Amino acid sequence: MDGMITGVTVPDNEVAANDGTITWGANTNISLSFGEIVSFESTVSTLGADETGYSLSTSPLMPGWFGDNFDGTALPFHDAFASFASTTGMPTEQTLYIWLVLAIALATMIVMIMLTRSILMGSAVFIAVMVWGVQASIIAGWTVFVFVILMAGLAFLMNRSVMGG
């Protein structure tokens, strides 16, 4: 039976204290009571001014982690890069130095791979040049970790293509 029983009294087929009568649509023993809405009331602490919230302890990061302390005056090609940056409307010459460090890192990686036939050695040289860029405050320190992950993926894919996996 798919439909709901309406207007029918269903008898209890078992002999028990409850007669099992279900009458649909009439519920006389249910009541509902509610009052008015009560507004939020703030409480005042008994501790007073001695209360403090949780304060997160600071952890020192590696210098240049965010690459925000760039000073390129001691770097090579500073005058040429600064002139080009101001001519093209760049805020600083740091972008040009980032491209230079990435180009040097990539070139040394390719040369190392060609000489040693090892992705691991090429990746190590690439990361070493990137770390130099972080120490010179050219590149943000977190980018080194991104490139480590990329190099691990490259090594995995090279291994699969060479080994035929």
Q: Is 101 a domain residue?
A: yes
Residue 130 domain flag: yes
- Residue 93, in any domain of the structure: yes
What's the domain range around 101?
72-163
* pTM for this prediction: 0.52
Per-residue pLDDT, 103: 92
Q: Does residue 11 lie in a domain region?
A: no
Structural domains of the chain, count: 1
- What number is the average pLDDT over the span 32-46? 72
Each residue of 104-139: pLDDT tens digit?
A: 999 999 999 899 988 888 889 999 999 888 888 888
Span 57-86, mean pLDDT? 72
Mean pLDDT throughout 16-39?
67
139: helix, coil or strand?
coil
- 89 assigned to some structural domain: yes
Q: Which residues contact 25 (CB under 8 A, 6 or more apart)?
A: 6, 7
The whole-number average pLDDT for the span 68-95 is 78
49 falls in which pLDDT band (50, 70, 90)?
A: low
**pLDDT computed for residue 157 by the predictor:** 80
For residue 41, tell me if it sits in a domain: no
* Inside any domain, residue 91: yes
Q: How far apart are CA 165 and CA 163, in angstroms?
A: 6
